[in-house]
Amino acid sequence: AERPFVPAVVVGSGYGSAATALRLGEAGVSTLVLEMGRLWDRAGEDGAIFCSMLQPDHRAMWFKARTEAPLSSLLWMDLVNRDIKPFAGVLDRVHHGDMSVYVGRGVGGGSLVNGGMAVTPRRGYFEEVLPRVDAGEMYGRFFPLANRMLGVNTVDRTWFEECESYRYARVSRGHAQRAGLRTTFVPNVYDFGYMRREERGEVPKSALSSEVIYGNNHGKRSLDRSYLPAAVGTGNVTIQSLHRVRSFRQEPDGTYVLTVERIDELGNMLGTTEIGCRWLFLGAGSMGTTELLLRARETGVLPRLDDSVGHGWGTNGNVMLGRALHSWDRTGSVQSGMPALGIDNWDDPVHPVFAEIAPLPAGLELLTSLSLAITRNPERGSFSYDPAADAARLHWSASQGKPSVEAAKALFDPINRANGTVYRHDLFGDSRAFEDRFTYHPLGGCVLGEATDDFGRVRGYRNLYVTDGSLIPGSTGVNPFVTITALAERNIDRVLSEDF
């Protein structure tokens, strides 16, 4: 049988992929997007598309028998996680020894599960991280474009100061200020107008109903409400969900052939198909794209791939911590799941930190301030290929998290001192105060200008591109999706004008 052939294939449907697919579609290029997760458009028996964080069910996680939430315990008790039926759920936690990585699964990738924080990085730091990218063009054109396309908005300051749902953020801001630190409002893709109507009881609740990490039923402009419908709307882009790209090879005529596994929502294998294409864009995320390229190089299928494939991976310096507050510092039992404030101490010469003031939307007063700190951790991990498992293995040792923890400590010790508060030691399963064994922000693995040229063209092969977070060498200093989107916009702009 003749195998299907499409001009362009985009692997994955996260930020890099979505921006790339839209621009390909607009340029008239027939494009097929292949996404291993499901399309999240049908309500379950409870009338909701996504399950809530407080009552997680099979929809929560990607083929797990138990949920694996970032906070694993409360008062050391295993109260947070639940046994669930394995299913093609929306959040995955991928384990690699001392590091585990959270990723979104579904049409929209990480945009389905994330906190929506839409931060444009400091220009000075961006220039340091990606010195070969024209920052003038990025800040003049592609960052504004990405912000517009993603529907980034900011909270109304007057409402923020009086609403119940950001009491937790105001309390933490007060604590930071008492230690002489600066906080900053953080833009978001969650519709703050919708959130205000939630608080008034006018619309179904999502951010104010503890929804985040297992999906938002309302209010969030995830990619399936922004870039992806626009891409499909060009008439040239088709998305196939529950299609997992296993491998790809290059034919003598330079075209690519993908081996694609089709699964159902219970994980049954429905079959394997081959799809041919001329232009192949890898947007499977830092973990997914790096694995695909590493497998291709190490199995000898694409031997000219650069040695740097599999290197330059980082956690964006992620570390999470909670502080126990005094009884008069009520954070509120209703906490918006979408963060709106950060403690910005990135100018600190020794320990730059940007710490998001995170919600702990447990539905009851816990007198706890939770933070996700983004630190400048110089440590980098690398991947090797495990032939027995036909999988990539991330090498990241526990000690590599140390710089992240030190930086977080340097920021939060003075906050504790100024407020007479202490760290919580009961949140992460053992007695540690700082959780550096997971990241929400995997970056790198196929670094721009190393594994690819300066526009994401994979070295050694024509018409093969990387479009996602794997291009960024391990750190952005802020939450990364705006950077990933803007970089993808920049790269596809160049590629469309030169390679098509």
Q: How many residues bind ligand FAD, per CB under 6 A?
A: 39
> Among 25, 37, 151, 317, which residue sits at the site for ligand FAD (rule: CB under 6 A)?
37
* Residues 340-399 close enough to bind ligand FAD by CB under 6 A: none
Judged by CB, which is closer to ligand FAD: 123, or 417?
A: 123
- Tell me which stretch binds ligand FAD (CB under 6 A): 105-113, 176-184, 399-407, 446-454: 105-113
Binding mask 263-302 for ligand FAD (x = CB under 6 A): --------------------xxxx-x--------------
Judged by CB, which is closer to ligand FAD: 325, or 340?
A: 340
114 sits near ligand FAD (criterion: CB under 6 A):
yes
What is the smallest separation between the CB atom of 405 and ligand FAD, expressed in angstroms?
20
Spatial CA neighbour of 292 closest among 9, 2, 97, 63: 9
What distance in Å separates the CA atoms of residue 292 and residue 300, rounded to the nearest whole number? Answer: 12
Binding mask 430-469 for ligand FAD (x = CB under 6 A): ----------xx--------------------------xx
What is the smallest separation between the CB atom of 272 and ligand FAD, expressed in angstroms?
13
Tell me if 355 sits within 8 A of 408, measured CB to CB.
Answer: yes
DSSP state of 66: B
- Tell me which stretch binds ligand FAD (CB under 6 A): 103-111, 234-242, 272-280, 360-368: 103-111
Which residues are designated catalytic?
356, 441
- Tell me which stretch binds ligand FAD (CB under 6 A): 31-39, 193-201, 376-384, 454-462: 31-39
- Tell me which stretch binds ligand FAD (CB under 6 A): 30-38, 46-54, 197-205, 228-236: 30-38
Helix residue spans in 378-478 (DSSP H): 402-419
Judged by CB, which is closer to ligand FAD: 16, or 361?
A: 16
What is the smallest separation between the CB atom of 418 and ligand FAD, expressed in angstroms?
27
SS3 40: coil
Judged by CB, which is closer to ligand FAD: 160, or 354?
A: 354
Give the pair of three-digit tokens for residue 147. Answer: 């912000």
Residues shown for the chain? 500
- Torsion, CA 273, CA 277, CA 283, CA 289, rounded to 10: 70
What is the smallest separation between the CB atom of 36 and ligand FAD, expressed in angstroms?
4
DSSP state of 220: B
Judged by CB, which is closer to ligand FAD: 285, or 401?
A: 285
* Residues 236-255 close enough to bind ligand FAD by CB under 6 A: 244-245
Judged by CB, which is closer to ligand FAD: 441, or 457?
A: 441
> Among 25, 109, 322, 474, which residue sits at the site for ligand FAD (rule: CB under 6 A)?
109
115 sits near ligand FAD (criterion: CB under 6 A):
yes
What distance in Å separates the CA atoms of residue 212 and residue 12, rounded to the nearest whole number? Answer: 21
SS3 262: strand
From residue 497, give the alpha-carbon distance in Å to each of 146, 232, 267, 411, 492.
19, 21, 40, 46, 8
What distance in Å separates the CA atoms of residue 96 and residue 149, rounded to the nearest whole number? Answer: 34
The bridge status of strand 353-358 relative to strand 368-375 is antiparallel
Positive or negative torsion for Cα 136, 142, 145, 146? negative
Positive or negative torsion for Cα 468, 22, 297, 451? negative
Judged by CB, which is closer to ligand FAD: 244, or 376?
A: 244
What is the smallest separation between the CB atom of 446 and ligand FAD, expressed in angstroms?
11
* Residues 181-240 close enough to bind ligand FAD by CB under 6 A: 213
Tell me if 6 sits within 8 A of 31, measured CB to CB.
Answer: yes
Tell me if 62 sits within 8 A of 37, measured CB to CB.
Answer: yes
Judged by CB, which is closer to ligand FAD: 434, or 481?
A: 481
Residue whose entry in the numeric block shows the structure tokens 């995997």: 442
Give the pair of three-digit tokens for residue 242. Answer: 């529950």
104 sits near ligand FAD (criterion: CB under 6 A):
yes
Judged by CB, which is closer to ligand FAD: 22, or 325?
A: 22
What is the smallest separation between the CB atom of 313 and ligand FAD, expressed in angstroms?
12
Give the pair of three-digit tokens for residue 129. Answer: 């991280």
SS3 383: strand
> Among 24, 484, 486, 487, which residue sits at the site for ligand FAD (rule: CB under 6 A)?
484
What distance in Å separates the CA atoms of residue 145 and residue 120, rounded to the nearest whole number? Answer: 12
Judged by CB, which is closer to ligand FAD: 50, or 481?
A: 481
59 sits near ligand FAD (criterion: CB under 6 A):
no
Spatial CA neighbour of 313 closest among 339, 338, 294, 287: 287
25 sits near ligand FAD (criterion: CB under 6 A):
no
- Torsion, CA 259, CA 262, CA 263, CA 268, rounded to 10: -80
What distance in Å separates the CA atoms of residue 4 and residue 274, rounded to the nearest whole number? Answer: 7
Give the pair of three-digit tokens for residue 83. Answer: 């046994």
What is the smallest separation between the CB atom of 154 and ligand FAD, expressed in angstroms?
14
Residue whose entry in the numeric block shows the structure tokens 């508060």: 421
What residues line the site for ligand FAD (CB under 6 A)?
11-17, 34-37, 102-106, 109-110, 113-117, 213, 244-245, 283-286, 288, 440-441, 468-469, 479-481, 484
